[in-house]
Structure 1
Amino acid sequence: MATPARRTLQSFPITPGSAAVTGFAGLLALACLLGGSFPGFFWLAVIAATSAIIGNRKAKRAAELYRIRTLRSTEIARYHAMAPTEFEHAIAFLCQRDGCSNVQVVGGAGDLGADVIATTPDGRRIVIQCKRYGPTTKVGSPDMQRFGGTCWSVHRAHVAAVVTTSVFTKPAANYGVQHGIRLIDVSALGGWATRTGPAPWM
């Protein structure tokens, strides 16, 4: 069975321009080490300044994109309009937004039930299955059993959760409770997204 490609979520800079300033200082130091000849120093200084400006602009742009994505992450209606793969990435972003590290989207053929894997802020391994279902399709007991068969033994989860834009059937909910799987239905997802409710690992 093919192993799904692991896509690590990009981390956005929180302090724009810090990397650019470091690069600027590094190039200036290099110029000094080269002997301080005026022409060489001048052009290295120009390059350093240009690099710092470009780097600062890129950092600001990335920070602005992160800010916009964070605002959009609180709009629960967006999750209902997403394709399944988009939903997986959206859930991964929520994990990153709320302090998780090593966030990976692993859903796809051969994923063995895991769609998102991350390390929680307190160091635990969380494995999430994402179910982007319509309002008339519920997460059933077979869905839960397939995930329950791999989340602990295969993926070595410390925390296992199923996140859906719908709800769970009663047998599915019972299975989750019996096997320690966190159930995040559309209501709980709304709370997580808007920060009025807990994240799945809390």
Structure 2
Amino acid sequence: MHAALAGPPAFLWFLPLMLLTSATAGWLLATQHQKRQQFAVFQCQRSCCSPARVDGLDHREFEYLVRDLMIRDGATNVRRVGGAGDNGADVVATDPGGQLWIIQCKHRKQGLGGKIVGVQELQILNGTGRPVHKGNVVVLVTNGAASKQAHGFAKSQKLEIVDRLLLEDWITGDRPIWELLGIKGSTVPSVLSDVQSGAPAGTSESVYSLAEAYSAGLVPWKPATMRQYLLRSQRRGIPLPRSKGGLGHLYTAAELGEWLGHWRAQGTAPHQQPE
């Protein structure tokens, strides 16, 4: 009699609770999945970031941008490792030739108007890039500019600098960074493999590197000085010469002539050294 009047078995009271817990867990998993998808989209947007938006990133986002660009280029084992105790390595990656890249990122909120990367920052990177991290290619990437002394030190120590000008070519072009820097050992075919005698495939118009343009008398400065002028062009609002076909640092005579014309229009004589 008492058994018949007794309530339902105790485990039945837990059934609604179990269902609620299961539903909550499912909702959490779905939310996490959605966040991962949103994060993946955000990562992709970093890779496609326009040069104009780079200055608006924070230092972590800038490191992720560099990481994503390396992935886009075909590097493997790409990791963003920046943070406390990183010993100068913000991004590490392996290029298709098996070379280990150690990359330090220097973001400037003011872009070209920010603090110029100096020798001291290159000295710190030089002290860890190969001795500590065992890198084959050691690179400093900045959305600003590097001083002439920094470029000289980098060259003497076999370090690489990706400054604002080269960074824009990297972001907007289709050439991997090892091609833009002229790093040997990559197995990725060059998009310039079809270029014959200095002319893009399908055209008859010659293109020139900065060194070739100087040798041909198209510009009055050697490549190192030309790069300083090109960087200052952005500060002055002078349109940069851009090659056809996304060839990066290869320019036609007409493009270089037009660019020099803009400098003359601003009253800068071609024989002057960069300010």
Q: TM-score normalised by the shorter chain: which range applies?
A: 0.5 to 0.7
**For the Cα contact (< 8 Å) 1:152–1:158, is it kept in 2?**
yes
Aligned counterpart, 1:175: 153
Counterpart check, 1:150 vs 2:122: no
1:85 to 48, 55, 60: 60
**For the Cα contact (< 8 Å) 1:188–1:197, is it kept in 2?**
no
Segments of 5+ residues of structure 2 without an aligned counterpart are: 1-32, 184-275
Partner amino acid, structure 1, of 2:103 = I
Q: CA deviation at 1:69?
A: 2.1
CA separation in 2, counterparts of 1:173 and 1:159?
Answer: 16
Question: Secondary structure in 2 aligned to 1:149?
Answer: helix
Counterpart check, 1:105 vs 2:83: no
**For the Cα contact (< 8 Å) 1:84–1:131, is it kept in 2?**
yes
Partner amino acid, structure 1, of 2:48 = S
Q: CA deviation at 1:141?
A: 0.6
TM-score by length of 1: 0.64
Partner amino acid, structure 2, of 1:120 = D
Residue pairs, 1:31-110, within 5 angstroms: 69=44, 73-110=48-85
Residue pairs, 1:15-26, within 5 angstroms: none
Q: How many residues align?
A: 146
Q: CA deviation at 1:168?
A: 0.4
Counterpart check, 1:166 vs 2:144: yes
Asked which structure has the greater RCO (Cα within 8 Å, sep 6+), the reply is: 1
TM-score by length of 2: 0.48
RMSD, aligned α-carbons: 2.8
Q: Which runs of 4+ in 1 moved over 3 A?
A: 65-68
**For the Cα contact (< 8 Å) 2:94–2:100, is it kept in 1?**
yes
Partner amino acid, structure 2, of 1:99 = G
**For the Cα contact (< 8 Å) 2:47–2:65, is it kept in 1?**
no
Counterpart check, 1:184 vs 2:184: no
1:125 to 81, 100, 108: 100
CA separation in 2, counterparts of 1:192 and 1:69?
Answer: 15
